[in-house]
Structure 1
Amino acid sequence: MRWTIKSKPEKEKVQALQNALQVDEIVATLLLQRGIESYDQAKQFFRPTLDDLHDPFLMKDMDKAVARIELAIENQENILIFGDYDVDGTTAVSLVSSYLRSYYPNVATYIPDRYNEGYGVSYQGIDFADDNGFSLIIALDCGIKSIDHVAYAKEKGIDFIICDHHRPGAQIPNAVAVLDPKQEDCFYPYDELCGCGVGFKLIQALSFKRDITMFELIPYLDLVATAIAADIVPITGENRVLAKFGLQVINSNPRPGIKALVQNIKKKELTISDVVFVIAPRINAAGRIKHGNEAVALLTEYDLDQAEIFASEIEQHNADRKELDQKITKEALAQIIENNEENQFSTVVYQEDWHKGVIGIVASRLVENYYRPTLVFTKSGDKLAASARSVKDFDVYNALEACAEHLEQFGGHMYAAGMTLKEENYVAFKKAFEKVVQETIHPDLRTPEIEIDAAINLVDISPKLIRILKQFEPFGPGNMTPVFYSSHLKDSGYAKTIGANDEHIRGFVKQKGSESFGVVGFKLGTKLDVLKNKQGFEAVYSIEENEWKGKINLQLQLKDIR
């Protein structure tokens, strides 16, 4: 691990913010590192309100999208809500369909089959719309590159509204409206929305026209917060407002589908982290193992008893997903060793019988193991399909673009992407991708980095500091959980390994003049001797509240020690 302490903000700025907010140096430093330099900015950060959301009509083509939907309703047209099978897509479809159905009945949903249709807008979906009398398709979390699909639909007399957040290609589809804040000629003030976030801006715009207040849209924010967490978009600006209010809905009055998923979690309050690790994998499991339609059925169900039945089926899919992911990860790791590829700059593995629904998770597991850009391929029809995952600060999308001659299609983000290619091009692509990564990755990016916000002493950790840190939530990209560094720490004598195979460590530590703090270090079991070192050690950690048997205690979650 590389330990990197962030550069300290200018002393004058720290002092000025301390005085303005009446906070100590640590808090002022953390705020300045997040781009917050004034009282007003701090107020907006700590006390976001729904008034902070931007006018949806600032988004390019929003007026056209609203006008086309209003026309469809006026003419009693059938509207098909189309979306991807992942969390962002299924929550977006659930959001827009349930909103429109609240006042217009002729609305149906369509999630493509992961295995027969693949990612994004499909010809099969357009044929379904044509066969069933749909004249308007609203595509969510996909469509920005669907030039040919939109043209095909037009030939059949079907209009498209695209709501996407992925990077556009050189050409934009000829749709009635294209809502994507990442378009170069879209001057919407915030371009980091997820697909469900763009869908929310659409219903917000429709509500303006119908004199529906923002307050009445709050119940939909549990879906938006779930998508923001699952899609790993920055929790800054507008996303921070949507996530904060969405979490409040999840914790107070979630829709029956989400309530059914979380009712067995014994926690007073769920965080973004709980959404990422508890809610999102279960919603995803439907599309991975069975069909994304099951996730939409769960998220749009209004009867709790029925939602509980759907949730238990999805729970089983999630258990199956875990089993598959462990098996395939084991096989992929064996393949890397067998091919003598442990020291490469990238990981590219392929086995034709690997389950397409879990290759993205397997790619993430392999990144954890070898820490390098990773692609996991499987057979999909007559082609090969892959999921890509990257390491911090390396743009895997750009790397794929550099190898585009070998690919049939690709799309995604800086850190995650999907692609297909012909089987005969696999070996050439694998060589080309390794070459591109080798030539473009900075040597530092080959080692995991821990970014440290500030060096502190344990005596600095007070109840007041914890109260303020809690107000920094929700955490996520752009506003990560603060990480601290302390040195000259001593074990109190109770350090031990815990968990299966003694993977983790637990103990109590103190520093000269401080009280004793409980510590836990996940996957640090091999460093027990460092913790017990009588000369002391230094540590990088975050501070958290640990809830155990109804009691809440402060503990340090160790990221690394030496």
Structure 2
Amino acid sequence: MRWTLKPNPSPQEINSLSESLKVDKLIAHLLLQRGVSNYEKAKKFFRPSLEDIHSPFLMKDMDKAVERIEKAIEAGENILVYGDYDVDGTTSVALMSSFLKETYPNMATYIPDRYSEGYGVSFQGIDFASDNDFTLIIALDCGVKAIDKVKYANEKGIDFIICDHHRPGEILPEAVAVLDPKREDCEYPYKELCGCGVGFKLIQALAERRGETLEDLVPYLDLVATAIAADIVPMTGENRVLAYFGLKVINTAPRVGFKAIIGQLKKKELSISDVVFVIAPRINAAGRMKHGEHAVQLLVEDNLEAAQKWAGEIERFNMNRRQLDQEITKEALIQIRENKEEDKFTSVVYNENWHKGVIGIVASRLTETYYRPTLVFTKSGNKLAASARSVKGFDVYNALDACSDTLEQFGGHKYAAGLTLLESQYKKFKQQFETVVASTIDTTLLEPEISIDAEIELNEITPKLYRILKQFAPFGPGNMTPVFMTSQVKDTGYGKCVGEDEKHLKCRVSQNADITSSTIEKSFDAIGFNLGKCKDKITNNNPFDIVFSLDENEWNGNVSLQLKLRDIR
């Protein structure tokens, strides 16, 4: 891996912040890297407050959206809450529908089928609304580019309110209201909300009109925090406040659906990382393997016994998803090796029998093994569909755009995209994509990068440091877990490979000490997941450098600090 040290703040800045906050210089260094440069910013960072949530009416079209919903409720109209099948979409639908259901019965939910309808607003969904006398659709996490679909709905006498966070095209749909902070004419102060976050702003506005406060809406924030974590939006500004309070709800008073999922776990307290790797994949599995409506039903259920049945079913979907993902990844890796494509700039694989619901996960897995822009194709009707994943710093969306003459359609963003093409175009596209990437990518991007916050000595690591670092949470893009580098450490002689297939490395490291003497300076247990192959680097009293984050290890009731190794050289 490429080790990259982040730029150091100036000594004057570090000293000034250290003195004003009365914190260690290392803490001041880390805060400055996160844009926390004075006492006021530090107070907001360490003590997130609901007072830092902006007025929803700062968002363009919010007043129109609220007026149309109030009019629908007054007239007894049927409202359809529509959202995508991923975590952001299903949590958005659960959020909006459970809020409306508190006071209004004429409401239903709709999640499009991944396979028969595809992503976003569908003609099939609008036909469903028309056939069942819905006159208002609230679309969440989708719709900002659905110009033809909204026009079709208008012709059928159905109004649209769109809550989206994707970048709009040059023309907006002719909806009653288009709520999207990324609209060029929207002056909302925070632009990085997820779809569920935009949905939350709408319920905040509706609640304000009823005379309710933000405190009344805190129970809904478990859904918002889950969407923020799963959609990997920046953990800054308003997102960080919403995630902070949402995580508190998950840990202290989760909705029944979350309780049913969490009940299967053995953890006392969940972090944002647990939400990403434990809760989100289970919610996602419903849309991948069966139907996203299963996830919505779990998230709005208020009977624990019923929720446990939904959670059990979703757990089976998740296990099935995991098995398929492992099988397809193995097959894809074999395909790359058999076709002797290990030295190419791209990985492009295809099998008509691969499950469409997991090809995105498989593309991510392949990117972990062969670090380069990757596409995984399968058959979808009479066309081929693919999920694309990229490497840090390379825009796969632009690369696909350069190949658009071979594509039927494509969409997405810099690091992840989806596309369809005719089978007859597959070989031409594969060659063209390789040529485009080979001619435009900086080859240093084909080596994964570890971004390091600071180089430190082991004797700087204390329980107090770890206690303060824990208060940097919740972590995510823009506020990642602090990563450190320490040079010239040695294993105290107990390094070994552990785990299945001895994939992981366990050792104890010390610094500035001769391990043959009786005086060993401060040493720490260290665990390196998937670093078993590095064992030879640490043997025979050889010094080595490490990159790591800090973690706690609990064993037999004892809690101790340990280093979570990221890489060794």
TM-score range, shorter chain: over 0.9
Compared CA separation, residues 380 and 13, structure 1 to 2 (3 A): same
Aligned to 1:560: 567
* Contact map agreement 1:166 1:412 (CA 8 A) in 2: no
Deviations 1:381-419 (A, max 9, x none): 122221111111222222223333332322223222222
Corresponding residue of 1:216: 216
2: CA distance, partners of 1:533 / 1:190: 54
Which residue of the partner structure matches residue 537 of structure 1? 544
Q: Separation in 2 of the partners of 1:509 and 1:534?
A: 11
CA distance in 2: counterparts of 1:213 and 1:514, whole angstroms: 54
Q: Distance in 1 between matches of 2:340 and 2:98?
A: 52
Partner of residue 531, structure 2:
524
Aligned to 1:243: 243
Equivalent residue number for residue 367 of structure 1: 367
More divergent stretch after superposition (392-401 vs 13-22): 392-401
Q: Aligned residue for 1:162?
A: 162
Match of 2:510 in 1: 510
In 1, distance between residues paired with 2:534 and 2:245?
A: 40
> Counterpart of 1:430 in structure 2: which amino acid?
K
CA distance in 2, matches of 1:181, 1:487: 45
For residues 330-358 of structure 1, the C-alpha deviation after alignment (integer angstroms, 9 at most, x for no partner) is: 11111112222211212222211110110
1:437 equivalenced with 2:437 (yes/no):
yes
* Sequence identity (%): 67
**Change in 2 beyond 3 A, CA 1:433/1:457:** same
- Write the distance in 2 (CA, Å) between the matches of 1:514 and 1:190: 47
Q: Would you say the 8 A contact 1:488–1:537 is kept in 2? A: yes
C-alpha distance in 2, partners of 1:550/1:129? 56
- 1:344 correspondence with 2:344: yes
Aligned twin of 2:182: 182
CA distance in 1, matches of 2:542, 2:238: 48
Q: CA deviation at 1:430?
A: 2.2
* In structure 2, distance between residues paired with 1:351 and 1:302: 42
Q: Which moved more, 1:414-423 or 1:2-11?
A: 414-423
Indicate the SS of the match to 1:60: coil
Q: Report which stretch shifted further, 110-119 or 507-516.
A: 507-516
- The separation in 2 between residues aligned to 1:557 and 1:234, in whole angstroms, is 23
| TM-score, with structure 1 as normaliser | 0.98
Question: 1:27-51: CA deviations, max 9, x gaps?
Answer: 0110111111111011101101011
Contact 2:83 2:120 in 1 (8 A): yes
Map 1:386-401; keep pairs closer than 5 Å.
Answer: 386-401=386-401
2:463–2:561 contact (8 Å) kept in structure 1: no
- Of 421-430 and 178-187, deviating more is 421-430
1:444 CA drift (Å): 1.7
Residue in 1 that maps onto 2:299: 299
> Quick one: distance in 2 between partners of 1:147 and 1:285?
29
Which residue identity lines up with residue 480 of structure 1 in the other structure?
M
Larger deviation, residues 185-194 vs 37-46: 185-194
1:167–1:413 contact (8 Å) kept in structure 2: no
Matched, 1:57 2:57: yes
* RMSD after superposition: 1.2
In structure 2, distance between residues paired with 1:227 and 1:548? 32
Counterpart Cα distance in 2 of 1:416 and 1:365: 13
Equivalent AA in structure 1 for residue 563 of structure 2: L
Q: Provide the C-alpha distance between the structure 2 equivalents of 1:68 and 1:403, rounded to a whole number of angstroms.
A: 42
Contact residue 166 and residue 413 of structure 1 kept, 8 A: no
State how 1:404-443 maps to structure 2 within 5 Å.
Answer: 404-443=404-443
> Where do 4+ consecutive residues of structure 1 move more than 4 Å?
none
Match of 1:75 in 2: 75
Question: In structure 2, what is the Cα distance between the partners aligned to 1:341 and 1:159?
Answer: 51
Alignment of 1:67-146 (within 5 A): 67-146=67-146
Helix, strand or coil at the partner of 2:169: coil
How far apart, in 2, do the equivalents of 1:516 and 1:15 lie? 28
The farther-off stretch of 335-344 and 466-475 is 335-344
Q: After TM superposition, give the deviation of residue 428 of structure 1 in Å.
A: 2.6
Alignment partners' CA distance in 1, 2:258 and 2:350 = 35
Tell me which residue corresponds to 2:516. none
Q: Could you say what secondary structure the match of 1:157 adopts?
A: coil
**Distance in 2 between the 1:68 and 1:384 partners?**
41
In the TM superposition, what are the counterparts of 1:190-269 in structure 2 within 5 Å? 190-269=190-269
1:32 lines up with 2:32 in the alignment: yes
Q: Contact (CA 8 Å) 2:493, 2:541: kept in 1 or not?
A: no
Aligned CA distance change for structure 1 residues 172 and 422 (closer, same or farther; 3 Å) = farther
Residue 549 of structure 1: CA displacement? 3.8
Go from structure 1 to structure 2 and tell me whether the alpha carbon gap of 1:428 and 1:63 turns closer, same or farther (over 3 Å shift). farther
Aligned residues of 1:167 and 1:412 also touching (Cα < 8 A): no
Q: Secondary structure at the match of 2:268?
A: coil
- Cα offset, 1:209, TM superposition: 1.0
| Residue 317 of structure 1 pairs with residue 317 of structure 2 | yes
1:497·1:528 contact (CA, 8 Å) conserved in 2? yes
Q: C-alpha separation between the residues in 1 aligned to 2:172 and 2:335?
A: 40
Residue pair 1:135, 1:158 contacting (<8 A) in 2 also = yes
What TM-score do the two structures reach when normalised by structure 2? 0.97
Partner of 2:484: 484
Counterpart position of 2:517: none
Per mean C-alpha deviation after superposition, the further-off stretch among 421-430 and 330-339 is: 421-430
- The Cα offsets for residues 132-170 of structure 1, whole Å up to 9 and x where unpaired, read as 000111111111111111111111111111111112223
- Measure the CA separation in 1 of the matches of 2:381 and 2:301: 33
Contact 2:60 2:186 in 1 (8 A): yes
Query: Distance in 1 between the 2:413 and 2:555 partners?
Result: 38
In the TM superposition, residue 263 of structure 1 has moved relative to its aligned partner by 1.4
Contact 2:163–2:199 under 8 Å retained in 1 = yes
Measured after TM superposition, the shift of residue 172 of structure 1 is: 1.6
Distance 1:553 1:155 in 2: 65
C-alpha distance in structure 1 between counterparts of 2:418 and 2:200, whole Å:
25
Change (3 A) 1:178 1:112: same
Letter in 2 for 1:456: I
> Amino acid of the residue matched to residue 562 of structure 2?
Q
Larger mean Cα displacement after TM superposition, 195-204 or 508-517 = 508-517
Question: 1:172 is paired with a residue of what secondary structure?
Answer: coil
Q: Distance in 2 between matches of 1:310 and 1:435?
A: 47
- 8 Å CA contact 1:179–1:198 kept in 2: the answer is yes
- Rounded to whole Å, the distance in 2 between the matches of 1:189 and 1:400 is 32
